[in-house]
Amino acid sequence: MNEAYCDVAIIGAGSAGLRAYKAARQHGARALLIEGARYGTTCASVGCMPSKLLIAAADAADVARTAGVFGIHTGNIQVDGTAVMQRVREERDRFTGNVVRMTRQIPSEDRLEGYARFENDTTIVVGDHTRVHTRSTVIATGSRAARLPLFDDLGDLVAVNDDVFSWQDLPDSVAVFGPGIIGLELGQALHRLGVRIRMFGIQNLIGPLTDPEVKKHAERIFGDEFLLDTDARVESLRREGSTVVVRFQEKSGRSDDSGPSEPRLLEEQYSVLLAATGRTPNTERLQLENTSLELDDHGIPLYDPATMQCGDSPIFIAGDATADVPLLHEAAAEGLIAGANAARYPAVQANTRHVPLSIVFTDPQIAMVGQPYHELPQEEIVIGELDWQSDPRARMMNTNQGLLRLYAEKSSGRLIGSEMIGPRAEHIAHQLAWALEQEMTVAQLLDLPYYHPVYEEGLRSALQSLAKQM
Ligand SMILES: Cc1cc2nc3c(=O)[nH]c(=O)nc-3n(C[C@H](O)[C@H](O)[C@H](O)COP(=O)(O)OP(=O)(O)OC[C@H]3O[C@@H](n4cnc5c(N)ncnc54)[C@H](O)[C@@H]3O)c2cc1C
Ligand SMILES: NC(=O)c1ccc[n+]([C@@H]2O[C@H](COP(=O)([O-])OP(=O)(O)OC[C@H]3O[C@@H](n4cnc5c(N)ncnc54)[C@H](O)[C@@H]3O)[C@@H](O)[C@H]2O)c1
């Protein structure tokens, strides 16, 4: 066994680990970056980038398909599944290639390949070849798609996000389990690319939304476009030859709906089941039981989000491994904090975290900013809203679907959060996040310039509806 010595060991060369390495080096530490699988990051290889590439193709098909509303007739749309997947893979490989190149530019003496496991708080074994003695460590091991026991008998007919982006062609049909962020993004894209889909959810959850009014809009909009049941009663899943057979209660026949009281049982066959039912942090290989860390019920170390330190140990954590907010910009921010503090250890510093922001790249997009509805102190807030239905700019562009809800504090007039589904949500969410960071009041936001006719006038209407109540 080789012996290696460093100030900061970083486990995982993903988006969080790469930032942690950079921050540790900037703070003068001798850092060692350990990767068990391959360079390239989840975001570039099987996450953010290929998913948005698939959505871009789906959007192109949708623009062509819906152009008739403007009097533009494109004839029958033909989706060339092989060409769609080829572009997704090629562009994905370009993004991933850039990350791999950048990672390989890190001096080879600062990199180790192999899975890491702890012997104690300051000793890590990598593969079977190296024992690393370190002053501090950053766990940045990311997450993987959860596989529910429900899918066990389906074998290779179950696909997760990683599989989708290596498809050579589009499948004929997909049963999507989980109308969360991944399920909605990939499911809608596949539907728009001509794949027959049905989406099964539980507990009436849809995307990351918690505001019942916005959820209602989301459910109606997506339910009008493809088969969706956010409270599905799946009776069984089985494999028949090369198909998945889903046996479930028909939505319209359930006693909680207005239809007949005896629900009809349906059986449908799909070529693939897409499992999009959440992510599991990669912590089990780490042998955390050999450390002094306090773990939660799921085996994830408890940590302070201001410092990313686990208890008062020399171990820090960042990115999806925390099981907290699995988003790229959070992974990057946490990597920087964890890397810097691991280098400074034991003199760690607390950092202020940015306003929460998340965007779902469906059409229309969903976004969440600041405090979500379910965490609001209801007596102390007012809610303003805009239904995009009759917004002039949205009607003009045929994008007039969705609801924007803004939450403000009664006492201070400050905006504190928003949930939305609607056009250009990625931009409106950023404007709101920046306003929240500046602690702006509704009056201050209304006192800014608004052009005409633009989507921001819709935002102004929602702000005006807030102002009226204050
Ligand atoms: C389909 C999909 C779409 C997404 N789209 C978006 C989006 O649009 N916007 C957004 O903000 N976020 C998006 N995300 C989330 C985003 O990709 C993740 O939050 C982010 O990539 C997490 O980075 P990370 O560094 O924590 O993990 P990773 O990039 O996964 O890095 C972890 C690394 O640790 C390695 N590792 C694990 N265990 C060990 C071990 N014991 N020893 C050594 N190495 C180990 C792994 O091999 C891996 O390389 C998406 C995710 C998915 C799955
Ligand atoms: N645009 C983005 O920023 C983006 C895109 C993709 C992924 N991500 C990140 O990746 C994370 C993971 O995505 P995800 O969609 O897998 O998780 P998620 O937590 O967003 O959604 C999981 C969904 O699966 C449902 N579910 C759970 N068990 C089920 C069952 N037995 N049957 C049917 N449905 C079931 C849940 O109710 C939920 O709706 C996201 O939370 C997000 O942070 C971000």
Q: In angstroms, what is the span from residue 42 Cα to ligand 1's centroid? A: 4
CATH fold of 146-277, please? Answer: FAD/NAD(P)-binding domain (3.50.50)
Domain 357-468, CATH: 3.30.390.30
pLDDT by residue for the chain (470 residues), tens digit each?
A: 999 999 999 999 999 999 999 999 999 999 999 999 999 999 999 999 999 999 999 999 999 999 999 999 999 999 999 999 999 999 999 999 999 999 999 999 999 999 999 999 999 999 999 999 999 999 999 999 999 999 999 999 999 999 999 999 999 999 999 999 999 999 999 999 999 999 999 999 999 999 999 999 999 999 999 999 999 999 999 999 999 999 999 987 665 555 556 789 999 999 999 999 999 999 999 999 999 999 999 999 999 999 999 999 999 999 999 999 999 999 999 999 999 999 999 999 999 999 999 999 999 999 999 999 999 999 999 999 999 999 999 999 999 999 999 999 999 999 999 999 999 999 999 999 999 999 999 999 999 999 999 999 999 999 999 999 98
Q: Where are the domains of the chain?
A: 2-145+280-344, 146-277, 357-468
Q: Which ligand is nearest to the CA of 127?
A: 1
C-alpha to C-alpha distance for 431 and 421, rounded to whole angstroms: 15
- The reported pLDDT for the residue numbered 263 is 80
Which CATH number does the domain 2-145+280-344 belong to among 3.40.228.10, 3.50.50.60, 3.30.450.20, 3.30.1330.40? 3.50.50.60
142 marked among binding-site residues: yes
Ligand 2 atom with the shortest distance to the CA of 200: 33
Quick one: pLDDT at residue 252? Answer: 77
Q: How remote is the CA of residue 279 from the centroid of ligand 2, in Å? A: 7
Report the alpha-carbon angle 365-49-275, nearest 5.
Answer: 75
Catalytic choice (133, 374, 430, 452) = 452
3 state SS for the chain = CEEEEEEEEEECCCHHHHHHHHHHHHCCCCEEEEECCCCCCHHHHHCHHHHHHHHHHHHHHHHHHHHHHHCCCCCCCCCCHHHHHHHHHHHHHHHHHHHHHHHHCCCHHHEEECCEEEEECCEEEECCCEEEEEEEEEECCCEEECCCHHHHHHHHHEECHHHHCCCCCCCCEEEEECCCHHHHHHHHHHHHCCCEEEEECCCCCCCCCCCHHHHHHHHHHHHHHCEEECCCCEEEEEEECCEEEEEEECHHHCCCCCCCCCCCEEEEEECEEEECCCEEECCHHHCHHHCCCCECCCCCECCECCCCECCCCCEEECHHHHCCCCCHHHHHHHHHHHHHHHHHCCCCCCCCCCCCEEEECCCCEEEEEECCHHHCCHHHEEEEEEEHHHCHHHHHCCCCCCEEEEEEECCCCEEEEEEEEECCHHHHHHHHHHHHHCCCEHHHHHCCCCCCCCCHHHHHHHHHHHHHCC
Residue nearest (by alpha carbon) to ligand 1 atom 51? 47
The pick from 141, 143, 166, 330 for probing ligand 1's pocket by mutation, whose C-beta has the most ligand atoms within 8 angstroms, reads 141
CA of residue 318 to ligand 1 center, whole Å: 11
Ligand 2 pocket: which of 202, 320, 325 to mutate (most atoms within 8 A of CB): 202
Residues with CB under 6 A from ligand 2: 148, 150, 177-183, 185, 200-203, 205, 276-279, 326-327, 358-361
Q: Is 77 annotated as a binding residue?
A: no
User: Among all ligands shown, which has an atom nearest to the Cα of 39?
Assistant: 1
Check the annotation: does 184 bind a ligand.
yes
Distance 377 CA to ligand 2 centre (A): 26
Nearest CA to ligand 2 atom 38: 180
Q: Do the first three CATH levels of 2-145+280-344 and 146-277 match, i.e. the same topology?
A: yes
CA of 140 to the centre of ligand 1 (A): 9
Active site residue 452: yes
Closest protein CA for atom 37 of ligand 1: 141
Ligand 1: residues whose CB is within 6 Å? 11-17, 34-37, 41-43, 47-48, 51, 115-116, 140-142, 161, 182, 282, 285-286, 319-321, 326-329, 331
Mutation choice for ligand 1 from 11, 43, 290, CB with most ligand atoms inside 8 A:
43
pTM above 0.95, yes or no: yes
**Distance (Å) from CA 85 to ligand 2 centroid:** 23
Rounded CA-CA distance 424/394 in Å is 10
Determine whether the annotation assigns residue 307 to a binding site. Answer: no
pLDDT given for residue 9 in this prediction: 98
